[in-house]
Amino acid sequence: MAFTVQNAADDARLTLNDAQKVRYPDTELLTYANMAYQLLRRFRPDFFVGNYSNGALPTLLGLTDTFPVDDMYRPAIADFLIARAESKDDEHIVQQRAQAFFQLFGLETFGVNGLAMTPPTPAGA
C-alpha cells in the first residue's frame, strides 16, 4: 500500500511525542519531507524508476501526495523527519539523537552506516 507524506509525518510524530501537532506543525514536517525527497532524487534515482509513466516527477510534494518510493522506505522517511525536527533544538542530547536518526536514514536508504549529513548548528550556539 502506498503512503502519503502525511502518513510519514504522522509516523514521525509518534517518536517526536507531538500527536497534537503543536511543536512540529504539518508545514514544517512537509518541508523536511521535501528535503528527503530531493536527497533521494539526487542520490538514489533508482528509487523512482517506474513510478511515473509520463517520466515526470513532481518538484515538490504536498501532504496528501503519495511519497513516490517503495513502502519499505516509509520508516526511513519518518526517521529523516525526526532527525530534521530534532536538529532544530539546541539541547546537546537532542542533537545527539538527531544525529542518530540521520545515521539511521543513511543506513536504511543508502546502505551505509551514516549519511554525510550533520544537524545544523543552532543559532547562537
- List all residues 6 or more positions away from 25 whose beta carbon is below 8 Å from its beta carbon: none
Residue 31 in domain = yes
Mean pLDDT by groups of 10 residues along the chain of 125 residues: 93 94 95 94 83 74 93 93 82 68 78 52 52
What's the total number of domains in the chain?
1
Residue 125 in domain = no
CA torsion through residues 42, 110, 1, 26, sign: negative
Q: pTM to 2 decimals?
A: 0.77
Rg (CA), the chain: 14
Cell of 64: 496528501
Residue 33 in domain = yes
Range of the domain at 105: 5-110
